[in-house]
């Protein structure tokens, strides 16, 4: 029997925080979720905002609706400091929360800062940037021609924090939009990345397929050159060569959130919270009352591991179980590492590639037309399962 009086404070209202709040509320805990925005953002389907296939509101779920569906308490405020050893969290409003039994840190990651980053926009940063990307694209369409560069960067201290997939998805979707408008030939679309084989962690077969797509759709590549800086009209590389662009969409790699790196929580070299397999945080050689889940946590595991939404969800489910078992005095725990895999439906606007990688296999399955519909269907499923309007399917 779970102790109903126990209080759990969850920081962050993304995939990790919202799921943790749902599972822990269901288990009878007194849960408070703090988020600096008043909506949950479905990042995977936000790739369609810039091409106007969906509206911004279509990828937002009101946290008040989620609160009503799950019965947790909601505080819309930013977290400014975490003093884990003193059991104290201070919010930007000045409010102090220090009466919790467990703390769940799920505030995602910060983006790495490159010189001239202000000349770029990212589909993986603040949600509002998807609207700015849309406006930049609209402007270039109105102009009738242009050069557009898409890229992503690496984090040498933590390869799991690198995110390139949405950049490819956005470029393929724009290619399709321009084709539909009959103006594709007027635009030069180039993908750039500092690594010689961006996307390599999806496996050899996926790379070969992507190569074919690039050739067929006349997309240019600029791979294997470190980025020196961004300028208003392009990207300058380490050898001082320049990729000219009228608009640059760049996804910087993730790094530790400032609130985390400035706290007393243990972090890895890149600033992500160090956890064990059960997402528990060890402090002063003891398992503390703090858990870290989702993009904010340092992932252990194979080289190809990646911070993903479904990993955040597994972690959220696991900690709900682990906290309950701990309170029962049992040693039963669930770990996340054995669930690590890469799972993504890489949308192209007129279809998708189903990408899967684990320790045993790596493949990309082309799914013309149906793949695009599947990803759309997943967006509906995500919203409605989170709102408890549709049952969750096993392993989804």
Ligand X SMILES: Cc1cc2nc3c(=O)[nH]c(=O)nc-3n(C[C@H](O)[C@H](O)[C@H](O)COP(=O)(O)OP(=O)(O)OC[C@H]3O[C@@H](n4cnc5c(N)ncnc54)[C@H](O)[C@@H]3O)c2cc1C
Decide whether 225 or 263 has the Cβ nearer to ligand X.
263
Pick the binder of ligand X from 9, 17, 97, 151 (CB under 6 A): 17
- Secondary structure (DSSP) of 303-357: TT----HHHHHHHHHHHHHHHHHHHHT------SGGG--EEEEEE-SSEEEEEEE
Instruction: Choose the binding region for ligand X from 2-10, 95-103, 104-112, 201-209 (rule: CB under 6 A).
Output: 104-112
Binding mask 337-366 for ligand X (x = CB under 6 A): -------x----------------------
Taking the mean position of all CA atoms in its chain, how far away is CA 97?
27
Pick the binder of ligand X from 8, 14, 133, 168 (CB under 6 A): 14
The least CB distance from residue 327 to ligand X, in Å, is: 24
The least CB distance from residue 16 to ligand X, in Å, is: 4
Tokens of 242: 């320049």
Binding residues among 135-194 for ligand X as defined by CB under 6 A: 166
User: CA 82 to CA 264: how far, in whole Å?
Assistant: 7
How many residues form the binding site for ligand X (CB under 6 A)? 33
Decide whether 3 or 93 has the Cβ nearer to ligand X.
93
270 binds ligand X (CB under 6 A): no
Q: What are the start-end ranges of the H helices in 116-197?
A: 129-143, 165-180
50 binds ligand X (CB under 6 A): no
By three-state DSSP, how is residue 110 classified? Answer: strand
User: CA 33 to CA 104: how far, in whole Å?
Assistant: 9
295 binds ligand X (CB under 6 A): yes
User: CA 131 to CA 51: how far, in whole Å?
Assistant: 10
- Report phi then psi at 105, rounded to 5: -95, 120
Residue from 113, 86, 112, 107 nearest 97 by CA? 86
Instruction: Choose the binding region for ligand X from 81-89, 178-186, 228-236, 294-302 (rule: CB under 6 A).
Output: 294-302
309 binds ligand X (CB under 6 A): yes
The least CB distance from residue 377 to ligand X, in Å, is: 13
Beta carbons of 171 and 47 less than 8 angstroms apart: no
Pick the binder of ligand X from 46, 160, 245, 255 (CB under 6 A): 46
Decide whether 235 or 311 has the Cβ nearer to ligand X.
311
Residues whose CB falls within 8 Å of the CB of residue 358, separated by 6 or more in sequence, listed in order? 340, 341, 342
198 binds ligand X (CB under 6 A): no
Decide whether 309 or 371 has the Cβ nearer to ligand X.
309
Residue from 110, 123, 389, 158 nearest 268 by CA? 158
Binding residues among 63-102 for ligand X as defined by CB under 6 A: 78-79
254 binds ligand X (CB under 6 A): no
Tokens of 48: 């369609």
Q: Under the rule (CB under 6 A), what is the footprint of ligand X?
A: 11-17, 34-37, 43-44, 46-47, 78-79, 106-108, 123-124, 166, 259, 294-296, 307-310, 312, 344
């Amino acid at each position: 029997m779970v102790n109903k009086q126990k209080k759990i404070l969850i920081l962050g209202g993304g995939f990790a925080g919202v799921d943790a709040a749902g599972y822990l509320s269901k288990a009878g805990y007194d849960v408070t979720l703090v988020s600096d925005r008043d909506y949950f953002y479905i990042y995977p389907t936000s790739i369609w905002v810039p091409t106007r296939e969906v509206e911004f509101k279509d990828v937002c779920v009101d946290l008040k609706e989620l609160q009503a569906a799950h019965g947790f308490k909601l505080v819309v405020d930013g977290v400014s400091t975490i003093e884990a050893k003193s059991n104290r969290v201070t919010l930007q409003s000045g409010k102090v929360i220090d009466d919790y039994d467990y703390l769940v840190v799920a505030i995602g990651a910060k983006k790495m800062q490159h010189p001239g980053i202000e000349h770029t926009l990212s589909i993986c940063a603040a949600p509002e940037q998807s609207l700015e990307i849309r406006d930049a694209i609209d402007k270039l369409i109105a102009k009738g021609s242009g050069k557009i560069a898409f890229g992503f960067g690496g984090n040498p201290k933590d390869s799991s924090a690198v995110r390139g997939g949405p950049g490819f998805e956005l470029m393929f979707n724009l290619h399709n939009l321009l084709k539909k408008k009959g103006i594709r030939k007027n635009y030069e679309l180039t993908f750039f990345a500092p690594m010689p084989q961006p996307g390599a962690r999806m496996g050899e077969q996926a790379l070969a397929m992507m190569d074919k797509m690039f050739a067929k759709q006349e997309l240019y590549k600029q791979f294997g050159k470190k980025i020196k800086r961004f300028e208003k009209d392009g990207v300058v590389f380490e050898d001082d060569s320049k990729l000219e662009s009228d608009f640059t969409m760049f996804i910087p790699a993730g790094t530790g959130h400032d609130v985390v790196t400035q706290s007393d929580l243990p972090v890895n070299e890149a600033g992500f919270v160090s956890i064990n397999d059960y997402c528990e945080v060890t402090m002063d050689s003891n398992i503390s009352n703090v858990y870290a889940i989702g993009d904010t946590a340092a992932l252990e595991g194979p080289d190809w591991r990646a911070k993903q939404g479904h990993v955040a969800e597994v972690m959220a489910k696991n900690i709900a179980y682990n906290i309950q078992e701990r309170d029962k005095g049992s040693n039963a725990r669930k770990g996340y590492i054995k669930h690590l895999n890469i799972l993504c439906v890489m949308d192209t606007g007129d279809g998708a590639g189903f990408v899967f990688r684990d320790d045993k296999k790596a493949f990309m399955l082309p799914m013309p037309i149906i793949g695009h519909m599947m990803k759309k269907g997943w967006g509906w499923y995500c919203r409605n399962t989170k709102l408890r309007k549709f049952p969750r399917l096993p392993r989804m």
